Amino acid sequence: MFTNFIASSKLMDLQLLGRKFTWYKPDGTCKSRLDRIMVNKEWMWKWPDLSLRSLGRTFSDHCPLVLKHVIVEWGHKPFKYFNGWSSHQEFKDFYKNKWAGYDIQEKLKRLKRDLKWWRKTSFGALNSKIEANKEIVEKPDRFDEVFGLEEEEIIERNRN
């Protein structure tokens, strides 16, 4: 029934780049490409440069899908303030010392620069740590897609 609907609607399954599978059974014994994006010919004519990628799974047994049309260059990486910083034991003193004595525009400019430095010294390379942990989770999935995993490797993957 569903297959007939797809055929009669003239839908196409976009090619998935980056991975073969989008779902993994939590115990690692089964994997499948459950998640898909289907488009018709008109859609492809309107957006010919579509690409569909699967990201690594993090909190779910499904891998998120990213549909891109055009790569946009956003310029400089924007400054981000994390609410958790305000609960850090050194933040209040840091903030008071950096905020005093400047007009508002200069205060914000200096505070941004100083917060970047403080974040690096107080929390370390947080993005690098996150990326390293993602790699720990994703590497077995990529290996499993090509070669399959032994029972011990499945157990180890599930520990991570």
* Structure confidence by residue, pLDDT tens digits, 33-63: 999 999 888 888 887 778 888 888 877 889 8
**Residue-by-residue DSSP string for 30-76:** -EE-----EE-HHHHHH-TT-EEEEPPPSSSSBPPEEEESS-----S
Read off the pLDDT of each residue in 118-144 and give the average, rounded to a whole number.
Answer: 77
The pTM assigned to this predicted structure is: 0.46
Token pair listed for 158: 């599930």
Euclidean distance between CA atoms 150 and 152, whole angstroms:
6
Residue 94 has pLDDT above 70, yes or no: yes
